[in-house]
Structures are given as structure tokens and as C-alpha cells.
Amino acid sequence: MTLQSSGAISMSDLNNEVGSNRNNLDDGILRALANKVGSGTPISFSDFYGKTGKIAKGITMSASTSSVGFSGTPCMGGTADQLIVNASNGNCELDFSVAPIWQGNYTITNNTTGVSSVLYWQNSRSWQGANYANLLRANTGDYFTIIPS
């Protein structure tokens, strides 16, 4: 999803875009979305024009449980590149080709199965978390939501 590029933006629009309720523009997740990091940096609703916070889309996993057609997905000022099952540890892994501004956790939900997992920072372009049963399913297309948390 992406916020509009002109006109009025409300807190409700921002909350919908990041997938959680935020109370003010000085919130860390909203500052990252606006690319206005740093306490005391002025921020306004127009700073959110054209920004993308959450990923909400159908993603197909291959037989080797790597995403198909996911590359190039905008999220929090970065570009998500792949969603995979890490071959070394079996974790769910979210990788970016361009590092996002938000460097905190992300929560992934498979909306088809209802299974969620928190993904923790590994480095500026990679997050990992538990790959619970029916989160990433081989040879299956599911609808996912990935939000900063």
C-alpha cells in the first residue's frame, strides 16, 4: 500500500499504512515512514506523501520456500527483495535489497492461515524470526501482511 501523493492525510491513514495505532507524529515508526528520524526534527503530514509502510500482498512460495515475484516491493523507505526459509536455521527471513529506514522489528502474518511471527533485526537488510507451521508454505500462494512493530 502507498499513501497518496497530495491532499489531506489523517492519523487514520497513517495508522492504516503502518498496520498499527500510533498516537502522534513523533512516534518512531511514523518518523521512519516519513524519513524524518531524530528527535526534534520537524515533521508534518505532507512528509508522508507517497510513502509505503506495510506490505500487504499475495506471495507465492516455491518448492524451496523462497518467494516468487516479491522482489522490488517498497516498505518503510526500503525495497523488500525476498521472503525465504533460511537454509541454515529454518527461520522465516525477510531480506531487503535497499535497507529500510525502520530498523526495528517487523511482524509477518500469513492471512490465509492466521499464523504470525515477529522478525528480529539481523543486519540493516535482513530480519529473521520463528517459522511456525503454516507460516511459509512450499508451493503455495498465500496473502501476507508485513508491518513494522
Q: What is the residue-level pLDDT of the chain in tens, covering all 149 positions? A: 799 999 999 999 999 999 999 999 999 999 999 999 887 889 999 999 999 999 999 999 999 899 998 999 999 999 999 999 999 999 999 999 999 999 999 999 999 999 999 999 999 999 999 999 999 999 999 999 999 99
Mean pLDDT of the chain: 95
Beta bridge partners of 143: 58
Give SS3 for 7. Answer: coil
> CA 1, CA 8: separation in Å to the nearest integer?
17
Produce one character per residue of 24-54: b if its CB has 16 or more CB atoms within 10 Å, e if not: ebebebbbbbbebeeeeeebebebbeebbbb
Q: Please write the tens of the pLDDT for every residue from 17-54.
A: 999 999 999 999 999 999 998 878 899 999 999 999 99
Task: Tell me the C-alpha to C-alpha distance, in Å, between residue 112 and each of 1, 23, 58, 66, 144.
Answer: 18, 29, 10, 17, 8
pLDDT of residue 37: 87
